[in-house]
Structure 1
Amino acid sequence: MDKFKAMQIFVRIADAGSLTGAARELGSSLPAVVRSLAAYEAQLGARLFHRTTRRITLTEEGRQHLERCRQLLAGLDEAEAALRAETSAPTGHLQITAPVLFGQMHVAPVVTRFVQRHPGLRCTTLLLDRVVNLLEEGLDLGIRIGNLEDSSLVAQNLGHIRRVVVGTPAYLRRHGTPRHPRELARHNCVRIVGASRTTWGNFQEGGRVFQVAVTGNLEFNHVWPTVQACAEGAGLGMFFSYQVEQLVRERKLRVVLEDFELPPRPISIVYPHARLLPARTRAFIDFARQEILQFRADGR
């Protein structure tokens, strides 16, 4: 029997939730799908589905085998797509999402250069500060900051960033440099509306993660004016390291409380796991991994 075809039919049945639905999607007859599943189960020596007259559900063995089949089929699709991509120029419509400020600073310029290199391509980039379901919203790929919980996505690492507390050298001279997060309570802390207004975190000490109470007389509903207020000496701010990287490098802002930071967070480019990648998507992933600023493993 054709094992790859049998795997494809098995996965389609699991996705469709019925033998009839799988047959319809495959453009095949119901008896042919039933025979393929029966032969595949016999070859494996295991039952993959519980079947009744009204419903079909995966067995425990079926659930475990489904994930392995998805990986194998995705690998085959990716190998074929990679071969085709080597001989074809990217065309069509590429849709990308990324966090707003990171997208403005690091993703949008890369997208622009990529489209200029491939004029037959159209690209839409959505900058959103929320986690987007790529499949539900019809997007090809996304940039994510933080640990990933969606196992249906493939992630390729672009680097790491830190969560840092910063202030201007002048502010720190006037008000003192905090040596422990508890000392933030006596500083003016410039905050972002939507984040916690009364606490900052998370910090760590001796393996314990904790937050601290903060106060301040300035709040903004966007990151960039909050960064600018800190750069003007209005107080201390807490940001992702990429958001203040240039100002820190120019010594307009200084990082404090480094010993209490949590481990760096990953930055990843993500795309759906079990879907054939068009040449345009694969080409952008390769391009972005070369062009987007590579953040060091320690986030510095």
Structure 2
Amino acid sequence: MDRLREMEVFVAIVERGSFSAASDKFGLSRAAVSRAVNSLETRLGAQLLARTTRSVRPTDAGVAYVEACRKLLDGISDAESHIATDLANPVGTLTITAPVQLGQRFIAPLVNAYTLRYPDVSVNAVYLDRPTRLLEEGVDIAIRIGHLEDSSTFAVRLGSVRRQTFASPAYLAAHGEPMYPRDLVGHHCVSFTGVSQPLEWTFYENNAKIPVRLQPRLIVNLAPAAISAAEDGVGITQLLSYQAASEVASGNLVPILRAYEPESTPVSLLHVERRGTSGKIRSFVELVTETLRNNTYLQCASGLTSEGECVPCQGNRELATRHSEAHAPYLQPLVHSLGN
């Protein structure tokens, strides 16, 4: 481990009060954090930390050294930021990750726009359906769906999505619309394993979980396959709201059982913590934040238009009447948050 990283680890231990918190911040093992401190103490010939089973605190030498480290690290960070924070002309290589379908539908067009706007930045866009560890995997920015654990990254709230149940108008005309979750037992279902358990779907009523056991006619592991099957009338399926956005807008699919949906799940942008964030990161964060916070399908978990109309009901008075009661819980404005 180089000397600057050892200093960063030491400062993190003092600021966060534990070796484990420092290891979490940098994605290092507890042993690596201990070796960094031992290396500093050996080089300096002084004990920097007083350790007990319950606490870690700096010694007098440690107090003096942590201040020196902060000044040095801040100076380096400022020097780097002055070189790279010119938002009009960011440079370098930017690595981005996002879930596959969210990336295809909403992030890829932004990446294209970004590369055209900033020709001196090379972009490495990786779309995969698993969380990435930014520091360990060399990722600058990650778009993530889900509730976030405590981390050393900055998290920008972009919006939210919901797990919703969909059917085609033709299927509903032929088989009727289930009005309660357990009505699904008498229906044909298409299970998408990326969103729901294949043999059990979960709904909620008054915060109480309602599990429904199914015998699906079809089980798939790709959202487009579930969408295609539902559009063709094979059966009812469950997806995240954004995954069926265009099909709902076109009228090919209709959300059902709206009153029994779970709470919305946040969509966030994560980037590595820096005192002076590089221009390439700042410019992409600003582009994505501005654009996705204006995206109807991410700003309204129920899929409401800017006029407050449900997307599947837009221009369809019959659907609007049928779903009017289900809209009410989702009319609260979304509060965006920025924090660690």
| Fold match by TM threshold 0.5 | yes
TM-score normalised to structure 1 length? 0.76
In structure 1, the partner of 2:199 is 198
Does structure 1 residue 59 correspond to structure 2 residue 55?
A: yes
Superposed, which structure 2 residues align to 1:109-148 within 5 Å? 109-148=109-148
Distance 1:241 1:154 in 2: 25
Residue 286 of structure 1, CA deviation = 0.7
Distance 2:85 2:124 in 1: 21
In structure 1, the partner of 2:159 is 159
Question: What are the ranges of 5 or more consecutive residues in structure 2 without an aligned counterpart?
Answer: 1-6, 14-18, 23-32, 59-65, 304-340
Write out per-residue CA displacement over residues 223-281 of structure 1, whole angstroms, 9 at most, x where no aligned residue.
11111111111110100111111111222111111101111111100122357532111
Q: 2:299 aligns with which of 293, 296, 300?
A: 296
Contact 2:201 2:213 in 1 (8 A): yes
- Structure 1 92/58 Cα, relative in aligned 2: closer, same or farther at 3 Å? farther
TM-score normalised to structure 2 length? 0.68
Distance 2:246 2:237 in 1: 15
Contact 1:159 1:299 in 2 (8 A): no
Q: 1:30 aligns with which of 44, 48, 71?
A: 44
- Structure 1 127/8 Cα, relative in aligned 2: closer, same or farther at 3 Å? closer
Does structure 1 residue 103 correspond to structure 2 residue 121?
A: no
In structure 1, the partner of 2:336 is none
Contact 2:157 2:268 in 1 (8 A): yes
- Structure 1 275/223 Cα, relative in aligned 2: closer, same or farther at 3 Å? farther
- Structure 1 19/221 Cα, relative in aligned 2: closer, same or farther at 3 Å? closer
Distance 1:61 1:258 in 2: 53
In structure 1, the partner of 2:252 is 252
- Structure 1 58/297 Cα, relative in aligned 2: closer, same or farther at 3 Å? farther
Root-mean-square deviation (CA), in Å? Answer: 3.2
Distance 1:128 1:91 in 2: 25
Deviates more, 1:192-201 or 1:146-155: 192-201
- Structure 1 287/248 Cα, relative in aligned 2: closer, same or farther at 3 Å? same
Distance 2:148 2:79 in 1: 25
In structure 2, what residue type is equivalent to 1:89? N
Return the structure number with greater relative CO, CA threshold 8 A, min gap 6. 1
- Which secondary structure state, in structure 2, belongs to the residue aligned with residue 106 of structure 1? helix
Distance 1:160 1:287 in 2: 18
Distance 2:252 2:164 in 1: 15
In structure 1, the partner of 2:85 is 85
Write out per-residue CA displacement over residues 152-176 of structure 1, whole angstroms, 9 at most, x where no aligned residue.
2221011111111010112112111
Q: Percent identity?
A: 32
Contact 1:49 1:58 in 2 (8 A): no
- Which secondary structure state, in structure 2, belongs to the residue aligned with residue 246 of structure 1? helix
In structure 2, the partner of 1:179 is 179
Contact 1:157 1:269 in 2 (8 A): yes
- Structure 1 60/182 Cα, relative in aligned 2: closer, same or farther at 3 Å? farther
In structure 1, what residue type is equivalent to 2:127? L
Question: What are the ranges of 5 or more consecutive residues in structure 1 without an aligned counterpart?
Answer: 1-6, 38-47, 52-56
Distance 1:176 1:82 in 2: 63
- Structure 1 87/256 Cα, relative in aligned 2: closer, same or farther at 3 Å? closer
- Structure 1 228/22 Cα, relative in aligned 2: closer, same or farther at 3 Å? farther
Write out per-residue CA displacement over residues 190-232 of structure 1, whole angstroms, 9 at most, x where no aligned residue.
122465221112x111221232112222222211111111111
Distance 1:81 1:248 in 2: 44
Q: What is the number of residues matched between the two proteins?
A: 263
- Which secondary structure state, in structure 1, belongs to the residue aligned with residue 136 of structure 2? coil
- Which secondary structure state, in structure 1, belongs to the residue aligned with residue 189 of structure 2? coil
Does structure 1 residue 208 correspond to structure 2 residue 211?
A: no
In structure 1, the partner of 2:310 is none
Distance 2:82 2:265 in 1: 30
- Which secondary structure state, in structure 2, belongs to the residue aligned with residue 135 of structure 1? helix
